[in-house]
Amino acid sequence: MAASAATSTPSPSAGPRIRVLVADDSVVVRGLVSRWLEEAGCEIVGTASNGRIALDALDRVQPDIVLLDIEMPELDGTQALPRMLAKRPGLQVVMMSTLTQRNAEISLRCLALGAIDYLPKPEGNRGVTTQASFREDLVQKIRMLGADLRTRPRARPAAPPERPGLPERPATAPAPVARPAAAPATLRPRPLRTSPPRCLLVGASTGGPRAVGEVLEGIGAATLRRLPILIVQHMPPVFTAVFAEHLGARIGLPAAEAKHGEAVRPGVVYVAPGGRHMGLSGTAAEAVIRLNDGPPVNFCRPAVDVMFRDAAEVYGAATLSVVLTGMGSDGTKGAQALVEAGGTMLAQDEASSTVWGMPGSLVRAGYAHEILALSAIGPALRAAIGGH
């Protein structure tokens, strides 16, 4: 599609409304997404048919959030993203793409470059028009990111060293700015362990792909070989397989989407497949993966709560768990089951979270034994497992 000038809605003040710039080469997608977000109370400050037009419009329209399609003419999403973040530190960019392996790879790379989240698009204009779940996901994601943005201004960290696989935050990746200290949370007394944990459970959503990789790398492969690692990262189908592959390359351990009926083994990373819940059955000595297509829990499938509840029954007090950055409250009810069974529960702190929804919910409910910055979680888990 030929490039067109960015259109904008003048607004002298951002006010309480979320300011969104929509960049997509499909005029149908631009129109529908803009209308849906306006009906949801957002302010569409501009639209663009390619990345170059969107980039040129940033200073003029001052968006809070950019919806950025991956595949566009002249300047695609992967090329536009780092330039946008260099130009506007703290800008929230949500990538949009169809569910293909190639686009999943690209989306994960964009998250490593600093995009805050991704939104899977249905195939073709007709799919976008007719798939109600796309509209629901779009509106919910933008509302939650906007609400978090209103209370959490962002700035840049120093550039970290380059890493293989899923990098840590690069120079262009937005990082939370510390805010005035909130009222201290009430922490649960840490359970007294008489033996090492027998499984590690990780739950994450928005910001999770980078965070999960950093945590596992902080634990180290030698320590992780002692127990199975089960991960629920809110992601659509196709994305989870690519995510698992990236994790395995980064930490040097077998990592893949979990399969129904497979035995759980130490030193293996099991990622819940997108669109399916991952549970467990059996005993701590002979645990088995159980996948199911039950209804979403906390609007999520896979859901952290499903994994946590089953792990509480199978492993009991032998669980070691952490809830990382993410929207919503998934994991809180399951955390209750885990801590009541005697397991240990950690939560990522607010300052280092991309969105402090899931860990914040857990903390407010009183189910966290410890609240730690992302950089401290890996070493803390390594010590709990018995590593050095």
Domains and their CATH numbers in the chain: 19-155 (3.40.50.2300), 188-385 (3.40.50.180)
Burial-class residue 345 by CB neighbours within 10 Å (0-12, 13-18, 19+): buried
| 355-381 pLDDT, tens digit each | 999 999 999 999 999 999 999 999 999
| C-alpha count within 13 angstroms, C-beta hemisphere, residue 348 | 31
Over residues 289-310, the mean pLDDT reads 97
Please report where in the chains the tokens 């959503």 appear, as a residue: 205
pTM above 0.75, yes or no: yes
Instruction: Give the per-residue pLDDT at 130.
Output: 55
Work out the pLDDT band at 194, boundaries 50, 70, 90: low
Q: Is the pLDDT of residue 161 over 80?
A: no
Q: Is 317 helix (H, G, I), strand (E, B) or coil?
A: helix
| 87-141 pLDDT, tens digit each | 999 899 999 998 888 999 999 999 989 999 999 988 765 556 557 888 999 999 9
Instruction: Give the per-residue pLDDT at 125.
Output: 58
C-alpha distances in Å from residue 280, one per residue of 111, 199, 255, 367: 30, 12, 17, 21
Over residues 230-253, the mean pLDDT reads 96
Instruction: Give the per-residue pLDDT at 354.
Output: 92
Active site residue 246: no
Instruction: Give the per-residue pLDDT at 149.
Output: 75
Instruction: Give the per-residue pLDDT at 183.
Output: 43
Least confident among 22-26, 65-69, 182-186, 316-320: 182-186
Active-site residue, from 26, 49, 107, 205: 205
Active site residue 26: no
Is-contact 90 58, C-beta < 8 A? no
Q: Is the pLDDT of residue 181 over 80?
A: no
> Which residue in 177, 147, 163 sits closest to 17, CA to CA?
147
| C-alpha count within 13 angstroms, C-beta hemisphere, residue 287 | 26
Over residues 39-49, the mean pLDDT reads 97
Instruction: Give the per-residue pLDDT at 172.
Output: 38
Active-site residue, from 310, 330, 352, 353: 330
Residues 6+ apart with CB under 8 A from 200: 219, 224, 227, 228, 229, 230, 320, 321, 322, 381, 385
C-alpha distances in Å from residue 247, one per residue of 100, 231, 252, 264, 303: 19, 11, 8, 18, 20
Q: Is the pLDDT of residue 239 over 60?
A: yes
Active site residue 234: yes
Over residues 169-178, the mean pLDDT reads 41
Q: Is the pLDDT of residue 171 over 70?
A: no
- Helix then strand count (H, E) for the chain reads 13, 16
Instruction: Give the per-residue pLDDT at 184.
Output: 52
Per the model's pLDDT, the better-predicted residue between 264 and 121 turns out to be 264
Q: Please give the structure tokens belonging to residue 42.
A: 């957002």
Residue 126 per-residue DSSP state: H
Over residues 155-177, the mean pLDDT reads 40
Please tell me the distance from the alpha carbon of residue 17 to that of residue 34, in angstroms, as a whole number.
14
Active-site residue, from 25, 69, 97, 234: 234
| 50-59 pLDDT, tens digit each | 999 999 999 9
| 95-106 pLDDT, tens digit each | 999 888 899 999
Instruction: Give the per-residue pLDDT at 357.
Output: 94
